[in-house]
Structure 1
């Protein structure tokens, strides 16, 4: 029996997942494999693509017992006598903008799709294949079906358009978006004092603007929201459009901290900017992040939103609103309180507000806890 051959292999931008198409002399499969650092958190995801030999009448348990990729039963595939082997030079991979799902194309037509949301639950290990015409009771391979009948087509079309828009380093999309961000920020915080690139020369382009107004130093990111965050589609379903994009901000009382301390705090935005995609996670109000770059007694930040006294206009990206999340430093005891119950981060934000602590970082004492 022929050993499986890798026809195409490519990683997402954060190198957290690798897409692979493998083929032996019986069957071709599409896989998403997590990186080594994420193998304890996420499992590989398979998607059958086609049988190369006549399909078995019953479930291919013999192959599975030998550790081989199973062929699909005859009644579930549109080619019970088999199809020609896939040719590597006709294959391509397109990743979802979140980077947690992908589709494999053959001559630019969809062959298989592994949606991002299937990554987060072993009970929802669903994949879609163009040559599948039915699903068994225990099988989570689904027919891709025809255009207009399956939302996967639109998802893949959007992913292709997104990929093409940002395909070159000289993409005009960033210049226009950067200008819109800075114009909006300057309308609230005054002229831009300094601009920092925080993308490390990698895609997507991300920047950080420094502004000063009324004794407060403001740092606001731009470009993080180009990518929607992982997990959000599964967590919020139809409401995902209001939660999957973010920018980060920090407001620091200038007289309370040295310039070195201010810049060290601002540097945290750079390290957090890529966090959802490097860890395949998400950020929202109430989440906390440990950091050694904070002045004592702080040792973490909590993600919050500004109060009603400040409204910052944010651009709309790909039909989604962009949330502006503010980072507020907290102490070890405060972080412990934020984790003592599910969703207790919101309780801590409320308790901070009750003590006059909102989104502006000041040199302050630790909250009193009974």
Structure 2
């Protein structure tokens, strides 16, 4: 089945004009709206400039009675036939200045509004590799190039408004401080007084680009009389939902917001060095962290942050219930709610390359059982 252009190479040549372009706040997706004067199409691209989602937007001249296959053969988006469009005579060209781009909170989808009204939506599940396009206001019937937006506007309308509210809150003066204090207050109740605090640790892997979201800090909660280990927790990951959860879970609320934690007897500076890699990972890679996930280190094993002369760690296991492994009683971290969603803390446990392969082959539950049988502790030392 023919679909809109996908991949990283445009075949539209110099005839295509960019009407509007915008990058997501996380820097992992980019929206490009193009026209050749006859048809406008929108493309959602990844960091490698490959098209991951797309939709026909509008015809700008009289619609043909049938699909114009000749345009597809030359790599151009089609003039949709008159049976599939709301403006068979074509609509006027888009004014890029009149368009508002609203990125979903998760960063994996985007909406475009024209004069305040939804024009298109390319959600996270748009997949040109499988022939699933985005949604367009001017589409009257489903096709491989666009789904009618009005059929889903009851779902997308509130989501667009929620996304606008989210970014408005993020830009508001004092917003970060208010969020930060809510998480730090929760950590105080659950883990006791704080020690050191590291601000915006994810920027270390973002090349120092201050505009790349999300902002994530790390709070140290030193060992105390009733706890022999220090806890390091992220502060900021839960401020926004993770991408792609809705592709796997019917109810996003229990899984969408997380913070990461490490329990350790190592020096905090060393234990905390794991966080720059993971703090922005879901939004940078457009994925999510689920309980039981294993994440492989992206570089040589000897450079893994928690490595020592006696270990050969190459990744981490994410546990929502650390008591499945050996070790002391784990602190209860439940009770924080943001945006109506419960925040889940996932504990990081380093694993070897062989552990990672075993989890991928047999499943994370099998790995957890094996680590428990080996007496592996969830506290890093």
Which TM-score band applies after superposition, normalised by the shorter structure? 0.7 to 0.9
1:159 aligns with 2:160: no
Q: How does 1:1-370 map to 2 (within 5 A)?
A: 3-36=15-48, 39=50, 43-119=51-127, 122-123=129-130, 125-136=132-143, 139=144, 141-145=146-150, 150-168=154-172, 170=173, 172-197=174-199, 198-200=201-203, 201-202=210-211, 203-213=213-223, 214-236=227-249, 238-253=250-265, 257=266, 259=267, 262-291=268-297, 292-294=304-306, 295=308, 296-299=310-313, 300-305=315-320, 306-307=322-323, 309-341=330-362, 344-362=363-381
TM-score, L = length of structure 2 = 0.84
Identify unmatched segments of 5+ residues in structure 2.
Answer: 1-12, 204-209, 298-303, 324-328
**Residues 124, 276 of structure 1: CA spacing in aligned structure 2 closer, same or farther, 3 A cutoff?**
farther
* Residue aligned with 1:278, SS: helix
Q: Is residue 47–residue 128 contact of structure 1 (8 Å, CA) maintained in 2? A: yes
2:222 and 2:46 map into 1 onto residues whose CA distance is 42
Q: Is residue 18–residue 33 contact of structure 2 (8 Å, CA) maintained in 1? A: yes
Q: Is residue 57–residue 73 contact of structure 1 (8 Å, CA) maintained in 2? A: yes
1:173 is displaced (CA, Å) by: 2.5
Deviations 1:133-176 (A, max 9, x none): 2124xx252111178x53111221211111222135x3x33222
Q: Is residue 32–residue 44 contact of structure 1 (8 Å, CA) maintained in 2? A: yes
1:314 is displaced (CA, Å) by: 4.4
**Residues 96, 333 of structure 1: CA spacing in aligned structure 2 closer, same or farther, 3 A cutoff?**
same
1:356 and 1:177 map into 2 onto residues whose CA distance is 38
1:86 and 1:252 map into 2 onto residues whose CA distance is 56
1:199 is displaced (CA, Å) by: 4.2
**Residues 129, 333 of structure 1: CA spacing in aligned structure 2 closer, same or farther, 3 A cutoff?**
closer
1:347 is displaced (CA, Å) by: 1.5
Q: Is residue 11–residue 19 contact of structure 1 (8 Å, CA) maintained in 2? A: yes
Q: Is residue 26–residue 214 contact of structure 2 (8 Å, CA) maintained in 1? A: no
2:151 and 2:243 map into 1 onto residues whose CA distance is 27
* Residue aligned with 2:222, SS: strand
1:313 is displaced (CA, Å) by: 3.3
1:85 is displaced (CA, Å) by: 0.9
Structure with bigger RCO (C-alpha 8 Å, 6+ apart): 2
**Residues 332, 76 of structure 1: CA spacing in aligned structure 2 closer, same or farther, 3 A cutoff?**
closer
TM-score, L = length of structure 1 = 0.86
* Residue aligned with 1:19, SS: strand
1:337 and 1:83 map into 2 onto residues whose CA distance is 56
CA RMSD of aligned residues (A): 2.2
1:359 is displaced (CA, Å) by: 2.5
1:278 and 1:309 map into 2 onto residues whose CA distance is 30
Identify unmatched segments of 5+ residues in structure 1.
Answer: 363-370
Deviations 1:28-82 (A, max 9, x none): 111112221x74xxx4422111111001110111111122221111111111111
**Residues 265, 285 of structure 1: CA spacing in aligned structure 2 closer, same or farther, 3 A cutoff?**
same
